[in-house]
Amino acid sequence: MPNASLLDSSLKGLASALAAKTISSVELTRLFLERIGSLNAVLNAFITVDAERSLAQAGSADAARASGSASPLAGIPVAHKDIFCTRGLLTTCGSKMLSNFVSPYDAHVIERFAAAGAVLLGKTNMDEFAMGSSSETSWFGPVKNPWNTGCVPGGSSGGSAAAVAARLAPAATGTDTGGSIRQPAALTGICGIKPTYGVVSRYGMIAFASSLDQGGPMARSAEDLAMLMNVMAGHDPRDSTSLARERENYARDLDRPLEGLRIGLPKEYFGDGVDAEVAARVQEAIREFERLGARTLEVTLPNTRLSVPAYYVLAPAEASSNLSRFDGVRYGHRAANYDNLLEMYRNSRAEGFGAEVKRRILIGTYVLSAGYYDAYYLQAQKLRRLVARDFTAAFRDCDLIMGPTAPGTAFPLGAKTGDPVQMYLIDIFTIAVNLAGLPGMSIPCGFDARGLPVGLQLIGNYFSEARMLAAAHRYQLVTDWHTRVPKETPL
């Protein structure tokens, strides 16, 4: 099989090639490592790559396949967002604070992929501590969008998104606190899913906002996402928020036709603020779903406008608490100059955290402080409940909700870094899903006039990931948006 075909192959195709022994895992891993070597200097998608470790894992996968004991993902290289602790490897969270941190243990997600025989290809770049919507806040520098390297790839899982889009990796993991899987997937023309809160364990996933964070996969197609979900999902007793549910096969409904599927279209997602080309591509995608047998109806999510202010009270409040552990004492960055313990804390945190992280810690500390807790944090929790109730009401009438993932396509690097509010509004259509704990995904549905990808968001009721993946798969059987390769990173 030619190299270009392998780089552009689906996970199912790669598994078939490995099973047929047309290529070994060592050869396949070396192929992706070579592509990372040639393109990462431009894209800055990876923070850490350990070729020796990756090739050793590939050799073990080849031995497992030879013995007949391999799982479907055995020998397939997968990149991991640098927020998942990985034993014996740098885990930086995109921050100077953790730039020297080598984890002594594996996150649950890393364990699951290792048990499946997947090869750890490397750790991907990200917004610092997952705080950002453009992958520009990383201490290791911004990630570039493979469709236009002068533009952002979205955030905070921008490194994973760019790696998959540019075919530096066939699949990657990400995390989603307010849209950080779906939004970069939309801006780079790939697929990504945020599962129902609690479906994927957060053990070993460095916390930003614990009640919102959720890990999920990123890949080229819905079918690939289903394969990855079968590995990632599952109960973990080490995570108190992990749900004890019977294991699912997320690929079980991929052949299910769309006849009878009810798609809700929130009027709040198609009003002012949405780029005209984005709206047009999304409407075209919805018409394709109708041609495939789905029925559409208007629904309303009246508290959508409240989701951004609620989120930017709750998420910083939780971040303020979670990031208090980074004090220069136990691990991570410690300032070189200080005269006493308090000064060591202060200097270490001042040097170790970037501007966006400091901004959110300050906001979070403020809203949790005496005299402001009731006025801000408590009110935001009430708004969160209203947002969740909107979805509960909408799902009485529909099976899935659809709309744009982001109000626009990828914007130039540096265009919004001076205006945090404009940056925060990029996640207007994704944040509510996290507040409600629902599953959501983004799939590509076209391009704008500049050749930049547009994402279609699918939102499901709790534990409806298999149905969402099936709907996306049926759409992808009759469209080819998910197969397009960025011109700036040709195969």
Active-site annotation, residues? 81, 156, 180
Between helix 108-115 and helix 222-232 the angle, nearest 10°, is 110
CA atoms of 261 and 475, how far apart (whole Å)? 13
- What strands lie across the sheet with 46-48, from one edge to the other? 46-48, 119-124, 77-81, 171-175, 215-219, 191-194, 440-447, 453-460, 400-404, 262-266, 295-299
CA atoms of 429 and 100, how far apart (whole Å)? 36
Cβ neighbours for 172, distance < 8 A, ≥ 6 positions apart: 78, 79, 80, 81, 124, 157, 160, 161, 163, 164, 217, 218, 219
For the record, the structure tokens of 32 come out as 């992706």
Judge whether 105 and 96 are in contact, CB under 8 Å. Answer: no
For the record, the structure tokens of 202 come out as 């957060």
SS3 track for 449-470 = CCCCEEEEEEEECCCCHHHHHH
From 74, 101, 355, select the one nearest 206 (Cα to Cα): 101
Q: How far is CA 53 from CA 38, 61, 106, 122, 167, in A?
A: 19, 12, 15, 10, 20
Judge whether 111 and 140 are in contact, CB under 8 Å. Answer: no
CA atoms of 425 and 285, how far apart (whole Å)? 24
Cβ neighbours for 388, distance < 8 A, ≥ 6 positions apart: 435, 436, 437
Judge whether 217 and 248 are in contact, CB under 8 Å. Answer: no
Q: How far is CA 411 from CA 20, 41, 74, 259, 469, in A?
A: 43, 21, 37, 37, 28
| Cis preceding-peptide flag for 156 (omega within 30 of 0) | yes
Judge whether 325 and 333 are in contact, CB under 8 Å. Answer: no
Chain-centre distance for alpha carbon 297: 29
CA atoms of 201 and 181, how far apart (whole Å)? 16
Phi-psi region of 197 (alpha: psi -120 to 50; beta: other; left: phi over 0): beta
For the record, the structure tokens of 474 come out as 């049926």
